[in-house]
Structure 1
C-alpha cells in the first residue's frame, strides 16, 4: 500500500527533468499532484503522463519568484500534504564572471522561489496537522564546484533553509529534508553541453559522466525514488537531514 496515497503534493518545476520524474512517480503512487511551473507545455506533458496511468494532476502556471502568485496558488489548492521545492536554474561562471544580473536571477528563482513556496505552504500544513517538505539542494552546497559561484550560493541557501524549517516546525508535525544530487541526465544537461561546448558534446558528456566515481550520471527516476521515500510515512522519523544522491561524488572522489 502506497504511503502517499490520497495525499496532496505540490511540486515546483514539475514540468521537466527531476521535477517531472517526481511528479509522475507521486501520481503513480496515488498522490494528487499539483505542478507549479512557468512552462505550460512541459506542465501539460507531465499532467498527461500522470493521467494516462490513472493518476490525478492539476497544473498552475506561475512564477515561484513572485510571492503573491505562489500564495494565491496555494490558497487555491487548499490542503497541501507534501511540498517538493524543485524549481531551479543554473549559471556557469566564477565570481568574476557572475554579473549582478546573473546573481540576482539565480537568487530570485532558486532561493526566493523556495522561500516563497515554504512561506505559502507552512501555514496550510500547520492548519492541516502536519506535512512533509523536500528541498532540492545539490552537491554544490557542500563541495566546491568550478565555475558555479551563483548556483553554489543558491544551493547552500537551500541547505540552510531546510535545517531552519525542520527545527522551527517539528512541533507542528512538519518534516523538512533535502536531497543533494550530483549530475543527473536531464534535457537541461544536454542543452547546457550543446550551448557551452559546441562540437564537443560527446566528449563533454563523457567527461561529466565520469566525474561521478560510479562512472555515470544519475537518472531522474532514481532521484524520484528517494524523494518518494522521504515524503512518505515510511520516513516519519526523518527530519532536518540532507541526503546526497551522487554516485560517490562527495566521499569517493579521491
Structure 2
C-alpha cells in the first residue's frame, strides 16, 4: 500500500509538472507574440513617419527648384521635423510608362536638335474589344515669325474606319512631320499627344529631346531600423485637350 501511494504521489507530481510546463510554454508564446506585435506596430509607425518625411523633403526641394532651374541635377539635404532628408534630382529627357486617361493630353518639348520621337502605348492586346484599345493623336506646333502652325498625325491599333493610320505594334517613330520625305521634327517646338478611346500608358523617347521633367529621389529615416526611399516624377505641364480644337478651328476661347 505504501508503495502504491508513493507511485500515486509521483504520478500526481509528474502531472502537475507537465501542466506547469504547458502553462509556462503558452505564457511564453503569448508574451512573445505580444512583443512581436508591438515591434511590428512600432516599425509600421516608423515606416509611415519615414514616408511622410521623404515626401515632404521632395516637395520642399521641388519647390526650391521651381524657383531656380539651374539646381536640377544637384543633391540636397532637407531638414524636416528635426530629421535629415537626403534628396537627389535629375533631368528627364523621356517619358516612362506614364498613365494617361482617355481624352487627356500630354506635351513633349521638342528642340532643333530633335531628329526622332518614338511613342509606345497600349499593352499589346488585339482588337477583339476595340473599346478597351487606345489610339493616339499627335499635334505638332511651331512658331514662325509670330505665326503659329500645327500639323497632326494619328495612329490606331484597330481598323475602326476612322481615318487614322493603322499601326499594329503600338509603337511609332516620327521623323517627318509633313510627310514629304524631310526630317523636319526639329522645326517644331511642341508635340501634344492625346489618348483616344481608352486609358493607356505612354512611353516617349527620342533623339535630341530636351528636358521633359524632373526626377527627385528622397531617402529618410525615422530610426535606425526604418529607412524609406521615395521617387517622384514631375513632368512639364500641359494645356487642356480643348486647346487642340482651338488650334485647328482658328477660333479663340472666351
Normalising by structure 1, report the TM-score.
Answer: 0.24
Normalising by structure 2, report the TM-score.
Answer: 0.24
Task: Name whichever structure is richer in helix by fraction.
Answer: 1
Q: Which has the higher contact order (CA 8 A, sep 6+)?
A: 2
